[in-house]
Amino acid sequence: MRSVGHWAIGFVSAFLVSIGDLSVAIEAHPSHTQIQAALDRGAKAAAQHQPPEQWYARFGGNEDLDFGGFLVTKLGGVSVLATHMALRGLEPSAADIAQLVDATTMLVSAVIFGDRPAFAVESYMVLDQGGRAIKPVTVRVDGRATRTTAWPESPKFTAKVVAAFKYADFDPNAHTIITVFPATGGEIRFAVNFREIE
């Protein structure tokens, strides 16, 4: 069982579960063709009763007590929206699509573990690209963590750290290290190749 002070360092590639082809990199300025393809992909997923969350680009482990997380790009967000709306028998509005496409930041969410309900408060996250640190414009954390499946053993609690990074600040083609700094100390690192994410 993992102790509270034992922070795993996971070097894993992010992946995107998709029905279509992957683009060559995170797209900060998607074309009309790319946006339509993302909408079509989402509608097709809904027709097959697949969940919107499949369009998240995930990193880290897949088990309940694994460190990990996901990021949401512009085109991924459009597919999430299209899937969600189609499952309700609706279509995304032009305003909803524009809000996603015009976003200036990309969200990165990570799951961390600790042994106190408020352990995640004041945790932080940065991106590292070739030794250059990219700081987020905002960081949100769960003020009160939820119990894990290991409760009452360690790790007792899990919480999310969600950071927003400006598209203008990072290279969408670069190998990137996502580093989370839990307030309790240590760091958790994930290697992600942005070129492989849409």
Judge contact between 148 and 65, C-beta under 8 A.
yes
Burial degree of 68 (CB within 10 A; 0-12, 13-18, 19+): buried
Tell me which residue range forms the domain holding 80. 15-196
Q: How far apart are the first and last CA of the chain?
A: 35
The verdict on residue 129 lying in a domain is yes
The verdict on residue 86 lying in a domain is yes
The verdict on residue 4 lying in a domain is no
Query: Is the pLDDT score of 176 beyond 90?
Result: yes
Compute the distance between CA of residue 9 and CA of residue 26 in angstroms, rounded to an integer.
24
The verdict on residue 6 lying in a domain is no
- How many domains does the chain contain in total? 1
Compute the distance between CA of residue 141 and CA of residue 159 in angstroms, rounded to an integer.
7
pLDDT at 3: 36
pLDDT at 8: 37
The verdict on residue 2 lying in a domain is no
Lowest-confidence segment of 99-103, 142-146, 161-165 by average pLDDT? 142-146
If pLDDT is split at 50, 70 and 90, which confidence band does 29 have?
A: very high
The verdict on residue 1 lying in a domain is no
Mean model confidence pLDDT for the chain: 87
Model's pTM, two decimal places? 0.84
The verdict on residue 5 lying in a domain is no
DSSP state at residue 190: E
Specify the higher pLDDT residue, 155 or 16.
155
